[in-house]
Amino acid sequence: MKRRTHFGFVLVFSLISYLCLCSAFYLPGLAPVSFCEDGSGGEDCQTVIQLFVNRLDSVESVLPYEYDVFDFCKDMKETRPSENLGQVLFGERIESSPYKVSFKKDVKCQTVCTKNYQKTNQENVAKLDFLKMGMQLNYQHHWIIDNMPVTWCYDVEDGQKYCNPGFPIGCLVTSDGRAKDACVINSEFNKKNTFYVFNHVDIKITYHNGASEGWRGARLVAATLEPKSIKHADDKHPNCEGGTPMEVPGVFENDVAITYTYSVTFEENNEIKWASRWDYILVSMPHTNIQWFSIMNSLVIVLFLSGMVAMIMLRTLHKDIARYNQVDQADLIKLPPTKEKFSIPYEDAQEESGWKQVHGDVFRPPRKGMVLSVFLGQGTQIFIMTFITLFLACLGFLSPANRGALMTCSVVLWVLLGTPAGYVSARLYKTFGGEKWKTNVLLTALLCPGIVFADFFLMNLILWVEGSSAAIPFGTLVAILALWFGISVPLTFVGAYFGFKKAAIEQPVRTNQIPRQIPEQSFFTKPIPGIVMGGILPFGCIFIQLFFILNSIWSHQMYYMFGFLFLVFIILLITCSEATILLCYFHLCAEDYHWWWRSFLTSGFTAVYLFIYAVHYFFSKLQIVGAASTILYFGYTMIMVLIFFLFTGTIGFFACFWFVNKIYSVVKVD
């Protein structure tokens, strides 16, 4: 029967893992759009393909900018699609473009506009200088067709093709003749101290025809482009077949005219299905093999910890309890019936069973119990939010195609999960013997969210000053405050009401009135070394996955491996629990009963390693320049570290809380 149960558990877990790893990107609310040629369109079939432009960003700067900030061609009838909360928080600013595309209507070297810059006009000088800054920092365009990124695909080493969901404004050849960024792709980009503007794009749109499948029109399955730098002698009759590159001198000595053009071609490909149209982008990102290595590395750590915990639970504790029961039976024969358990007169039993010697102090309320209960309440809220968000993401509900959905889901869940935060905080605070319930519920509702909001607001001020598109509008900030104080805070009060209404958590043993003196501890059982060691193994499970997450945030790469992320989340959960249980057991055996805070800080110290890794990533992987970008990087990193600290600390605390209650309830005092 046990084998069948174990096999069933493995089968269910494998099925869930398989479903999470599947690329089910279009489950919710993303219906395909059909396109038809001019004259045959209708409500169910569009003829015009909208090309939208998104914000421009760079790996050398944290500051993104709207398309309109740069002096590009603009749509005279500019429209903006509706944006969700997540898009606004991420700073996405999508708007219509001046590039007009009709289905199956090829365009050859069409002029969009011409921008003239006169050296005597200060406004022109400022606009051209800002454009040069964008090329120097390698700012990237991000265009969208049919809710799909327009990609620039090019060959990389080992004969592989990489599809980048963006393309640069231009590039720079430095004063010493060194070609930077995209300037290495063309040998004609060789003039020193010169910028080359990519003012022409060849767009190729691939579609799947539905004539043979019973549905009308066609569906777009790919959109790629190739940027080019071409100097047009005549802007009314441009020639896009070749010519000299569009040069912008580093020193503005003569007037400059930049003509922007584009070409569009269509290609039919019925082998690519609409549901898998993102595959050509995702396959070019070589993450899968490294992700499996990360999973196997994490599983080895989990198996090691599981073996250690099993050895303690099944052998050491079982032997301790059996020996205790034998000694206790002998005591009951020799001593009066009122003699309490745990008074073991045998020195060898005391040496091997040190954890039983502190039974009268192990549930003594911790110092700063108010702060600990507040942290645990917030950590519970973050844990539930993270679990639900990742589970929905790995099922495809929060795919990259549904922009901003991940952040929107996280914020909404956090707001609605105020009740468990208030309940857990109040219940534990009451267990600790606290009586200031008003202070407890206010701190639970305001302390950690207030720190995050204050940091976020300061970062937003910097973005406002720099004129970045990532700056959150004032109305959105008011909406966030309304969600916080109008929904989350009242729900926290509701949870705290039920938490204080219930009785305190019953402890399996009584607490002595006089605290027991803690003996001299060895180096490894002292608080700081134990806490520092406790965060190493959990961090070892996540550091590879963390690299890809940081890449998606700061290097603007696309993250889609939510199935792997969900599995790593489960592994992190197990690792934090087992590492904390192991260290908690060793500390109790050393007769150190201060485990409340230590259990929280042991796994919570993983956040310190996260911060150290973020610092290493900043100096080794990024090319960020400027004080504002540096402050923004570390400001947002501190928010991540605080959230991760509460999350991992809560996992370790409740694992240790369960463990301590379990072992002391087995040898419960009568």
CA–CA separation, 619 and 608 (whole Å): 17
pLDDT at 332: 47
DSSP conformational letter for 162: E
Identify whether the C-beta of residue 20 lies closer than 8 Å to the C-beta of residue 583. no
Which residues, 6+ apart, have CB-to-CB distance to 462 below 8 Å?
628, 631, 632, 635
Per-residue exposure over 222-255, b if at least 16 CB sit within 10 Å of its own CB, e if not: bbbbebbbbbbeeeeebebeeeebbbbebebeee
Provide the pLDDT for residue 10: 37
CA contacts within 13 A on the Cβ side of 243: 16
Structure tokens at 27: 């489950």
Burial class (CB in 10 A: 0-12, 13-18, 19+), 337: exposed
Which regions in the chain score pLDDT beneath 50? 1-29, 332, 334-335, 337-352, 668-670
Q: What's at 585, amino acid-wise?
A: Y
Rounded to two decimals, what is the model's pTM? 0.83
DSSP 35: B
Which CB contacts under 8 angstroms, 24+ apart, belong to 483-488?
483/411, 483/415, 484/415, 484/449, 484/453, 487/415, 487/416, 487/418, 488/414, 488/415, 488/416, 488/418, 488/445, 488/449
Share of the chain above pLDDT 90, in %: 29
Question: In this structure, are residues 145 and 50 in contact, taking their beta carbons and an 8 Å threshold?
Answer: yes
Give the pLDDT of residue 6: 38
